[in-house]
Amino acid sequence: MAAEKDLSRRTVLEALGSMGLAAAAGAGAGGAAPAQHRARLAAGKLEATVVDNHDGLGGAAQERRRQAMPHAVGNLGEMFSTVPFEERFNGYNGVAQMRYGGSVSPFVPAVSGLNCEYIFDDREPDYETRWKKMEAWEAQESRIERLSPAAARLTIEPGSRFGVRVETRFELVEPHFIDLDVGFTATDAARMPKEALGVFWACYMHVPRIPQFYFLGRENKATPPRWVGAFEALRLEASGTMVPEARRAEPRMSGTHPMLYHIAETRFVKPFFCGKVHGQLFASMFRPGPAAEVRFSFAAGGGGPGCPAWDYQAVVAHPQAGRRYGFRQRVVYKPFESLQEAERLYDAWDLG
């Protein structure tokens, strides 16, 4: 019976992934946005579809699709995992699909991963989403440019609240990496946050068997680093944030939203986290810029029941208008061997 369940689950996931890549090759069915809002990239066995905020169903079409989406029992939320790629929602940018050698994509097909979700400051609930008019599912202005067969640039224009522009260059690198160069700039001194500028990215993971990510962390410097799962770090809370042991930004954060302001006592000692998704190693590694602090965030049901959010954010204390802040990031997606392999890959990249 267990083998039959595994086969059924794998068959469904592979079918959804196949439909997604077929849709990525041209205009999506069911009213999805045309191909100019997405760029399909490839390098060796690795392929990815990078999208802007306008790719997918918007307006009334998205509202109808959301209304048709089933809800999980026990008020656990909407089942985003039931929406196939060709009916994905607009307003979710970044990497909508990623595959290595025909594997299943790690991200929820209806939304995306490495998705620039919102801008925030030190207060709650003072944040700005990537929606221009969320009630109408009208996405924030953005565009995607294909730079080469393996590279693309995503630009998200400044919103009306904080006036922050976010620019990301994606490049697939053999054998199994996506390298990102991320920059964000406050364009208007009158509107920008004063105490702290934060930018938040969401990765909606598609029903991984083990829902949490892992990192090398410790509670204090008197103990050696060890592998820590997100649930352990957050004391079984459903969501929260992990910060580096060597702090860069110390702004006063007065909010209570757990994804932004609930800081775990366990700190990470190396800026990467990783986990196992559909038999693949998924790892996200960071090189923060001199003024930016990268933080890890976790939400057990961020993408709906069974679909955790393996998120991250960048925070700058006392930002300056017109100055570009940012970080470099490397994403690994390859057949899983061990968590220790993620550390070896991080060390090799960090020294490179």
Of 252, 249, 235, nearest in space to 293 by CA: 249
**For the chain, percent helix, then strand, then coil, each to nearest 5?**
20, 40, 40
Read off the tokens for 181.
């160069």
Total of domains in the chain: 1
Other Cβ atoms closer than 10 A to 67: 7
> How far is residue 13 CA from its own chain's centroid?
20
Query: Three-state SS for 3?
Result: helix
Q: Which residues pair with 198 in a beta bridge?
A: 120, 315
Q: Residue 280 corresponds to which amino acid?
A: Q
Indicate the helix (H) or strand (E) that contains 288.
Answer: strand 280-288
C-alpha 273/C-alpha 219 separation (Å) is: 17
How many helices and strands in the chain, by DSSP H and E? Answer: 5, 23
Residues 7, 137 contacting (CB under 8 angstroms): no
Q: Which residues span the domain enclosing 328?
A: 2-351
Residue 99, CA distances (Å) to 25, 96, 226, 245 in order: 14, 11, 30, 33
pTM of the model: 0.88
Of 85, 32, 25, 39, nearest in space to 55 by CA: 32
For every one of its 352 residues, what pLDDT tens digit does the chain have, with 9 covering 90 and above? 333 333 344 443 444 443 344 333 333 333 444 559 999 999 999 999 999 999 999 999 999 999 999 999 888 889 999 999 999 999 999 999 999 999 999 999 999 999 999 999 987 767 899 999 999 999 999 999 999 999 999 999 999 999 999 999 999 999 999 999 999 999 999 999 888 999 999 999 999 989 999 999 998 888 999 999 999 999 877 788 999 998 766 666 666 777 777 888 999 999 999 999 999 999 999 999 999 999 999 999 889 999 999 999 999 999 999 999 999 999 999 999 999 999 999 999 988 7
Angle subtended at Cα 176 by Cα 308 and Cα 104, rounded to the nearest 5 degrees: 45
Read off the tokens for 240.
């929260």
CATH number of the domain residue 297 falls in: 2.70.98
